[in-house]
Amino acid sequence: MQSATVPLETPRTVAQIRPAAGPARLRRRHVGLIGTFVLCVVIPACLWAAYLFAVARDQFASTMAFSVRKHEVGAAVQLLGGLTELGSSGPQDGDILQDYIQSPALVRAVDRRVDLAAAFTRPDDPVFSLGTDRRIEALSAHWQRQVHVYHDGATGLIELRVEAFDPSDAQAIATAIYEESSALINRLSAIAREDTIRNAREDRDKAIARLKAARTALTAFRSRTQIVDPASDAQGRAGLLNTLQEQLAAALIELDLLLENTSAQDVRVVQARQKAAVIRERLAAERSQFGRAEASDPQAFPELVGEYESLSVDLQFAEQSYLAALAAYDAALAEAQRKTRYLASHVPPTLAETAEYPRRFVLLAAVAGALMLGWSILAMAYYALRDRR
């Protein structure tokens, strides 16, 4: 019995399974894609290039660089030697100045010195000009396009670039910005110095007023009592009485010696008796004067002494307070000197000779790239939506 043979299939090639792709044909979607590319990219880029190279006016840039510096007083030994050092201020000063340069306040101040509307406007260049709106808001917005500030917080250096259609206008604006910024730094420095010495000056003035009042009160006491120092006056009176008593004792001894050796009618005895009598009368008069003062008001003299001592203590305290307040005021002045700031320009405003702006090729490339990117995103979105259907 013969078995039936089954014929084997011949393997098929890829060409037999899938037919070869035919030549690509231009379809309607391709035409639309090319049309949108020309409409959205090529034509706007060409128009923008025509404006940049045929209509846009040249602009000149004035650059400058400066920094905020402060005057630092060294230690006491250096101060006696007259040595000082210059140090850069903290980064906060540069930040404040950067904000001020970009603020409407500076725009107003510069506009009073330089006609910004005339410097930033060219009727035949509407894209890069200020336009017809001359209000401070529009002027400040256009200021951000024309004035560029670069601040290095590490070094405190500030670079400024001002663009204008005329090089002299750009230089004048940069000069006005520097002068107004310098005035701001001077005002801030004056405020810092005033804050530092205000309290010390008030304490010094109070101490001066207290010292004047104490001296006036002591002078009034002396004028009223006709006594310079009650304690010294009492000591002087007591010393006078003691002296008179000693002189009276010496006169009496001399008289006794004369009586032992001569008669009572001797001229020397008569003179000795007269001398003793005069001393006795003077002693009695001084005692009487002192006694009447004590008898009329026993508390008067102690009260005078107490009042005088109180006034003397007030005067001494006022003098010490004045010296302390004066020393504190001098220290505050020295501290205020360390807070003195000023603006130092190491690159003055330049006068441009070549127009560097607008940077036409850079702007053309940026706009063309943006148009290309936008067109690519739209095309990819179209094909993504088409493939989903």
- Mean pLDDT check: name the lowest of 46-60, 76-90, 223-237: 76-90
- Mean pLDDT check: name the lowest of 154-158, 236-240, 261-265, 303-307: 236-240
Torsion from C-alpha of 77, 81, 87, 93, nearest 10 degrees: 80
Torsion from C-alpha of 160, 166, 168, 173, nearest 10 degrees: -40
> What local confidence, expressed as pLDDT, does residue 295 receive?
46
What token pair was written down for 350? 């330049």
pTM, rounded to two decimals: 0.62
Q: Which of 135, 154, 147 is nearest to 175 (CA)?
A: 147
> What local confidence, expressed as pLDDT, does residue 65 receive?
93
User: What letter would DSSP give residue 123?
Assistant: T
AA letter at 93: D
Higher pLDDT, 121 or 285: 121
Q: Average pLDDT of 190-202?
A: 84
Instruction: Please give the Cα distance from 1 to 100 (Å, whole number).
Output: 112
**Locate tokens 């006709």: which residue?**
226
Q: By the 8 A CB rule, do 162 and 60 touch?
A: no
Q: Average pLDDT of 159-187?
A: 92
Instruction: Let me know if 279 is exposed, middle or buried by CB neighbors in 10 A (0-12, 13-18, 19+).
Output: buried
R_g of the chain computed on alpha carbons: 52
Q: Which of 179, 171, 160 is nearest to 98 (CA)?
A: 160
| Top-ranked range on mean pLDDT: pick from 26-30, 192-196, 199-203, 273-277 | 199-203
Strands (E) across 74-144 are located at 84-88
Q: Is the pLDDT of residue 88 over 60?
A: no
Q: Kindly report the CA angle at 338 between 332 and 343, in degrees rounded to 5?
A: 135
Q: Is the pLDDT of residue 16 over 60?
A: no
What token pair was written down for 316? 């001494």
Instruction: Please give the Cα distance from 315 to 218 (Å, whole number).
Output: 8
